[in-house]
């Protein structure tokens, strides 16, 4: 069983627990593509079987979220689970919020990961150091915000925002930093991931539906094919004669005019694996199925 389960992770479940849940149902090695904090719900692509080795080739790594920024104060965790460390000063007018987002939080930006995160320092995650009362200097990291739109008010003290961003972006840090820029302490009150690359919320499956499918032997109904997140990647088709050689690690000749680089390789309509074209030769880097 190889492919992806587009799991709708519920709040209160860690990403590791979600992966373990799918692993128990499938009996295969599993991994996730992009951690979600336990309190965050939404799309969590779970890689199953040999698909666990394909994440590095995903063609779209952007993510989309809908979340609430609350101006009731800043917290030590930058979300609603933390302790208030700076009291709120009320929500800004929508035009002021939109202006600071437009001026400072779109495009390529620098973001400092929060202390309560899985980023490691000296082999230990920052959240473990924070819980032990330790504070360390964390260097800012580049990230990208494609859009950050105001959808609506969220009570008298907040707004509901829609964010599209690059991989590795902390939305709670984005909301915290927006509050700092406005001199109105803020935190993330709620967050749902609506898209992760090609995996979307509308196509996701709940844990309950996935378990029910497993009980009736219908897990394959929710298993997306291994090449699902490779849309837009250059493709190469093997002939019947080339298939045997490619499967056994023998380079296959291609025209010198073919662009070099990684490509999705197919045998007929079937996904065969990932190949690399260099100097007129195609050599397989990953096989969708174990070599015979």
Catalytic residue IDs = 37
Half-sphere exposure in the Cβ direction for 187 (13 Å, CA)? 19
Least Cα distance to 166 among 25, 58, 241, 287 occurs for 58
Residue with tokens 């174990």: 290
Q: Is 213 exposed, middle or buried (0-12, 13-18, 19+ CB in 10 A)?
A: middle
Q: Are 164 and 147 in contact (CB under 8 A)?
A: yes
Alpha-carbon distance 287 to 283, whole Å? 11
| Alpha-carbon dihedral 108, 56, 237, 30, rounded to 10 degrees | -140
Alpha-carbon distance 71 to 56, whole Å? 38
Buried b (16+ CB within 10 A) or exposed e, 126-142: beebbeeeeeeeeeeee
The three-class DSSP label of residue 22 is helix
The three-class DSSP label of residue 99 is helix
Count of CB atoms within 10 A of residue 173's CB? Answer: 18
């Amino acid at each position: 069983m190889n492919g992806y389960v587009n799991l709708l992770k519920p709040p209160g479940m860690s990403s590791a627990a979600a992966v373990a849940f799918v692993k128990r149902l499938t009996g295969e090695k599993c991994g996730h593509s992009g951690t979600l904090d336990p309190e965050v719900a939404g799309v969590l692509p779970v890689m199953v079987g040999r698909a666990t080795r394909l994440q590095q080739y995903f063609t779209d790594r952007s993510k989309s979220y809908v979340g609430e920024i609350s101006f009731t104060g800043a917290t030590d965790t930058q979300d609603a689970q933390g302790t208030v460390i700076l009291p709120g000063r009320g929500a800004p007018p929508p035009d002021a919020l939109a202006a600071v987002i437009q001026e400072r939080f779109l495009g390529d930006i620098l973001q400092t990961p929060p202390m309560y995160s899985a980023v490691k320092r000296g082999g230990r995650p920052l959240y473990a150091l924070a819980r032990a009362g330790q504070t360390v200097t964390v260097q800012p990291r580049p990230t990208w915000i494609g859009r950050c739109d105001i959808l609506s008010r969220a009570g008298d003290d907040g707004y509901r925002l829609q964010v599209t961003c690059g991989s590795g972006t902390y939305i709670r840090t984005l909301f915290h930093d927006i509050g700092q820029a406005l001199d109105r302490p803020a935190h993330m009150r709620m967050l749902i991931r609506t898209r992760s690359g090609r995996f979307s919320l509308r196509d996701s499956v709940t844990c309950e539906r996935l378990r029910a499918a497993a009980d009736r032997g219908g897990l394959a109904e929710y298993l997306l094919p291994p090449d699902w997140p490779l849309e837009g990647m250059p493709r190469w088709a093997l002939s019947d004669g080339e298939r045997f050689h490619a499967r056994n690690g023998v380079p296959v000749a291609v025209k010198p005019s073919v662009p070099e680089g990684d490509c999705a390789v197919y045998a007929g309509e079937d996904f065969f694996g990932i190949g690399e074209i260099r100097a007129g030769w195609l050599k397989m880097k990953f096989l969708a199925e174990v070599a015979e």
